[in-house]
Each structure stands twice: as structure tokens, then as C-alpha cells.
């Protein structure tokens, strides 16, 4: 975790660097599809995570889940911006489960960037990736 007040104005450069670095540490012996994610919390801190596969496939962990867990462990409670970095044939966006995980800690207008190791390919808002979503306020919290 590092302070990243400049992340507000660096067009995702800081997030991309963090996601690219952690992607190299991914444990992906089965798919060989390494993914890194980095997010900025409400304090300006950057938290990163990588995918961790398991021989029992359903118990693997997505990069976004790792970054969110690192944020919570570090005291953050709000995702201000998140970037997912992978090297796929198409855009590497959060899976459905990770979109819901992000939703727990983000607002509808939170930027979500899909990137390759070379840069941001496309940016979305959470509302674009998860329209009409179910969140904490649905439960009255």
C-alpha cells in the first residue's frame, strides 16, 4: 500500500503500474492467464491484488477480490477508482462476481478501467458494467 494523492490526476498511470507489477506475481499455473488489479481508496492509498488459481478451480481468487481485501485490511472502505490489467484477446473487465464485489464499496459513477500491460484500453463506470445493481442501500443500510 502506498499513498497516491497524485493518482487523482495521473489518468490511471499509478494504478496501471501497481496492477502491472502485481500481475507478475499471479499464481495462474492452470490457465496461464495472469491478472492484476489496483484500486485507490478514499484516503488516496493504492491497494493491489492478483489472481490466485487453485487445482480445485472454484476456490481460486480474482485479482479484484484480492485488491478489495487488501483495501479493507488497510482500513479503506470506499473504492474511488479501480483498474484491471490482463493480456487477453478482448477487454479484460471484472467478472460478474467481482462487479458485485466492487459494488459493495463503490458508487455508480466509480471509474473502472480495463487495461493491458501497455495501457488503459477502455474505461467504464460501475453503472455501465452493473446496471440496476443490488447494493448495501437496498438492505436499508
Nearest to 129 by CA among 106, 83, 96, 80: 96
Catalytic residue flag (residue 104)? no
**138 phi, psi to nearest 5 deg:** -60, -30
How crowded is residue 139: how many other Cβ atoms within 10 Å of its Cβ?
7
Max Cα distance, the chain (Å): 42
- Of the candidates 24, 42, 53, 64, the residue annotated as catalytic is 64
Q: Which residues are catalytic?
A: 64
Amino acid at each position: 500500500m502506498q499513498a497516491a494523492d497524485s493518482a487523482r490526476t495521473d489518468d490511471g498511470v499509478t494504478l496501471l503500474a501497481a496492477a502491472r507489477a502485481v500481475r507478475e506475481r499471479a499464481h495462474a499455473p492452470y490457465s496461464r492467464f495472469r491478472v492484476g488489479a489496483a484500486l485507490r481508496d478514499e484516503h488516496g492509498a493504492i491497494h493491489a491484488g492478483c489472481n490466485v488459481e487453485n487445482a480445485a478451480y472454484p476456490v481460486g481468487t480474482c485479482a479484484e477480490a484480492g485488491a478489495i481485501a487488501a483495501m479493507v485490511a488497510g482500513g479503506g472502505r470506499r473504492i474511488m477508482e479501480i483498474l484491471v490489467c490482463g493480456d487477453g484477446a478482448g477487454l479484460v473487465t471484472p467478472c460478474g462476481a467481482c462487479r458485485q464485489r466492487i459494488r459493495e464499496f463503490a458508487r455508480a459513477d466509480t471509474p473502472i478501467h480495463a487495461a493491458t500491460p501497455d495501457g488503459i484500453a477502455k474505461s467504464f463506470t460501475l453503472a455501465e458494467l452493473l446496471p440496476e445493481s443490488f447494493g448495501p442501500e437496498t438492505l436499508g443500510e
